[in-house]
């Protein structure tokens, strides 16, 4: 819920600043209200579902059998590392700073309100989808099967929020958002493969540490990775300027003339 509130706050603060900014993207108040409203509604439903989660009793915990888990995920029940958990937090928080990356470039810096508004929408969408899915699925986390973990930690609503990984989905949303925006501002940049590789690696590492920490199964982080990446790519693309908002520019070379579409 804390992540959801942060996401909504980013949208509310930055939406007005982003409207009217000249950039590869075009914001529309009606569209932003629909996207943010749908995301917020999903988050509210997820919050209500979380409030109604039934906490495991001691007898129910004793009856849990790792043998019922599929072969791919089963080994995660032996994991429980605070260091891995902390590492995933560091990676997650780092990916949340994605918009700051664009302060280094003159063009994106002048459109920072628009970029931050889109980042806020991406974060809100990823947070809400994560929260809704977690407490609709109510999948038991791997550490709940681990006898080395205290019963107090297992008897919480959070213990039944394994699918899918929020750290991974939000990390992927942040990094893939940054990579997509970079590509839209610098379509000819030779750094694009590097940017996309980093964007893919950070949430992958986040997911790895979530599994090693005993917080998630491999399939949890795979799903979270996919959802976050799709959100991070889709939101910027959804706001790309249409051809009607572009002007025809003429580029003259040494022995040829090329006509290209350039953003205003």
Counting as low any pLDDT under 50, the low residues of the chain are 5-21, 244, 246-264
> What is the structure's pLDDT at 245?
53
Q: Find tokens 């994605």 and name the residue.
A: 98
What span, in angstroms and rounded, lies between the C-alpha atoms of 214 and 154? Answer: 12
Length of the chain: 264
> What is the structure's pLDDT at 177?
96
> What is the structure's pLDDT at 3?
54
CA angle at 37 for the pair 32 and 43, rounded to the nearest 5°: 130
Closest CA to 11 of 109, 92, 89, 127: 127
Residue 242, Ramachandran bin (φ over 0: left; ψ between -120 and 50: alpha; else beta): beta
> What is the structure's pLDDT at 16?
38
| pTM (2 d.p.) | 0.83
> What is the structure's pLDDT at 242?
77
> What is the structure's pLDDT at 100?
84
Residue ranges covered by each domain of the chain = 2-263
- 3 close to 40: Cβ distance less than 8 angstroms: no
What span, in angstroms and rounded, lies between the C-alpha atoms of 65 and 52? Answer: 24
The radius of gyration of the chain from alpha carbons, rounded to an integer in Å, stands at 21
Tell me the angle at which helices 29-51 and 112-137 cross, rounded to the nearest 10 degrees.
30
What span, in angstroms and rounded, lies between the C-alpha atoms of 220 and 152? Answer: 23
Q: Check the CA dihedral 227-232-234-238 and report its sign.
A: positive
């Amino acid at each position: 819920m804390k992540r959801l509130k942060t996401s909504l706050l980013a949208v509310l603060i930055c939406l007005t600043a982003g409207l009217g900014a000249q950039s590869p993207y075009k914001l529309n108040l009606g569209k932003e209200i629909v996207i943010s409203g749908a995301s917020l509604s999903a988050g509210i439903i997820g919050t209500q579902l979380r409030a109604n989660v039934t906490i495991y009793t001691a007898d129910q915990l004793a009856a849990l059998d790792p043998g019922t888990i599929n072969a791919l995920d089963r080994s995660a029940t032996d994991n429980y590392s605070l260091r891995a958990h902390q590492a995933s937090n560091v990676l997650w928080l780092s990916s949340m700073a994605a918009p700051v990356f664009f302060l280094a470039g003159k063009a994106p810096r002048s459109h920072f309100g628009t970029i931050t508004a889109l980042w806020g929408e991406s974060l809100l969408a990823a947070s809400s989808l994560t929260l809704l899915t977690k407490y609709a699925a109510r999948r038991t986390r791997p550490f709940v099967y681990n006898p080395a973990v205290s019963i107090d930690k297992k008897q919480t609503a959070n213990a039944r929020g394994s699918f899918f990984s929020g750290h991974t989905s939000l990390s992927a949303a942040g990094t893939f958002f940054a990579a997509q925006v970079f590509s839209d501002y610098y379509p000819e940049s030779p750094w694009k493969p590097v940017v996309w590789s980093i964007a893919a690696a950070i949430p992958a590492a986040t997911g790895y540490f979530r599994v090693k920490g005993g917080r998630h199964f491999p399939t949890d982080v795979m799903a979270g990775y996919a959802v976050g990446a799709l959100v991070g790519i889709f939101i910027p693309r959804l706001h790309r300027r249409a051809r009607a908002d572009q002007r025809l520019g003429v580029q003259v070379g040494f022995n040829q003339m090329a006509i290209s579409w350039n953003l205003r």
